Amino acid sequence: MRDKRRRGVRLVILAFALLLAQANVPRILEVPNANATYVHVECVACFPADFQPEEGGAMPLLCQLLRDSATRTSLRRYTSRFAVRAGLDNLRISFNCALVNIEAANHALASVLRQRQFTDDQIDAARQELSGFGEPAYKRLLWPKLTGGADTELLQNLTDRLCNSGSVVICYSGAIPSGTMTPIWRRDPYGLLPPADSGLHPFQRSLESRFFAGQKIPAFISKPASKFSPAMLVAAACLGSGKGSLAFQVLREKLGAAYTPEAGLIGNPAGFRLGVLMEGLSVEQRAALGRAAQELKEQDVARAKAMLTSSMKWGLDLFPLFTGFDHCVQPASLEGSTFLYAYWAAKNGEIWDPNLMLKLVEGVKLAEVKIALQALLGSPSSAPRSEP
């Protein structure tokens, strides 16, 4: 009787351990490609909706710390092009590896995601490494740059919020057989991630941090959209994709702006938003854009759709899509498509399907594009209002 009872207890413990392991396995996508000779890995965690500007300002420092936390010998031996980057609405870790090295490479990734404690010496070293690099204009504008105040508590809160099994989506594509990765995660106890954030350790608003705003770049950006819409994507391409775009024709050619304007669909923690970034943007320039937007014709919308098709279907780097002016993402490449699979699943809980996206884009009407642009630029008859 006692042996049966012990056996029953062991079975209960084993079942609980299996459930715990299942809960701590991140969301995994596998996209086999018979023509690929290596495996490309993209790990993405999108920022939560209540993400604070102070947290955004600390992201470059956190990325450097996570990158430095990986064992350099493991990275050199098992991976290539290992990178940790911060987008406007996501943390992104990517690398290449051979299939024979996938388990060791994945263990290195898991060790980075499990990193929680940073010493003052590590923070100082990472800050020193970052001192020689400037952030792009749009990042300086949308997130204040953190210069000296990020302490271990803030950084630990960031990793708790982003690097857990409920936030992370990892896509493995290329020379990877289906069903490979989940068993690897389950049998490696050191590879399991902490469970999804329970909310017991919210962001500490009382943290003392020193910030500076960086170069002031006036811009106007619409209210955040909670959901993606294909009309917004077409409007973004009309606004800022190529020399036929409104931003280039109006701001650069007609008004003689010296700084090349950038416009597009910007990811943010609450969804996506349409925006224009240009140094010294004035109320008059915004009004001129608003008037030009209401004069769009069918051929302008057709041109925008062609740009999107060229980017998503043929891999031409003509439009940055959803990644906040990240021109490194080419949707038809192995790296770009892998990132979009992971990013779209983390952002919307859906599988990225470029063919479906193009069908949705094809159905967008001129009137829908004008409505989306009017929401950003305002009515030509009304006085535009500048936003900081």
Domain boundaries, the chain: 2-212, 219-377
Residue 180: pLDDT over 80: yes
**Average pLDDT for 195-207:** 43
Model pLDDT, residue 280: 61
Please state which of the ranges 22-31, 32-41, 82-91, 96-105 shows the lowest mean pLDDT.
22-31
Residue 284: pLDDT over 60: yes
Q: Spell out the residues 6+ positions from residue 32 whose beta carbon is closer than 8 angstroms to its own.
A: 173, 174, 175, 176, 177, 178
pLDDT tens digits, residue range 128-160?
887 666 665 555 555 555 444 567 888 888 888
Q: 11 vs 26, which has greater pLDDT?
A: 26
Q: What is the DSSP letter of 199?
A: S
Share of the chain above pLDDT 70, in %: 70
Backbone torsions φ then ψ of 48, nearest 5 degrees: -70, 160
Q: 331 vs 3, which has greater pLDDT?
A: 331
Model pLDDT, residue 102: 95
**Average pLDDT for 193-201:** 56
Q: Are 263 and 236 in contact (CB under 8 A)?
A: yes
Which pTM value belongs to this model? Answer: 0.77
pLDDT tens digits, residue range 71-127?
778 888 999 999 998 888 889 999 999 999 999 999 999 989 988 788 888 888 888
Please state which of the ranges 202-216, 222-236, 296-310 shows the lowest mean pLDDT.
202-216
- Classified by CATH at the fold level, domain 2-212 comes out as Cytochrome Bc1 Complex; Chain A, domain 1 (3.30.830)
Residue 317: pLDDT over 80: no
Q: 121 vs 38, which has greater pLDDT?
A: 38
- Classified by CATH at the fold level, domain 219-377 comes out as Cytochrome Bc1 Complex; Chain A, domain 1 (3.30.830)
Please state which of the ranges 57-61, 108-112, 117-121, 310-314 shows the lowest mean pLDDT.
310-314
Q: 308 vs 18, which has greater pLDDT?
A: 308
Q: 197 vs 358, which has greater pLDDT?
A: 358
Strand order in the sheet with 271-277: 219-221, 271-277, 262-268
Share of the chain above pLDDT 90, in %: 19
Q: What is the DSSP letter of 24?
A: T
364/369 Cα distance (integer angstroms): 7
Establish whether domains 2-212 and 219-377 are of one fold.
yes
User: What does the block give as tokens for 158?
Assistant: 């960031």
Strands 168-174 and 27-32: parallel
Residue 314: pLDDT over 80: no
Residue 214's alpha-carbon distances to 62, 297, 337, 387, in angstroms, are: 19, 39, 33, 17
Residue 213 pLDDT level (bands cut at 50, 70, 90): very low
Model pLDDT, residue 20: 40
Highest mean pLDDT among 11-20, 22-31, 169-178, 201-210: 169-178
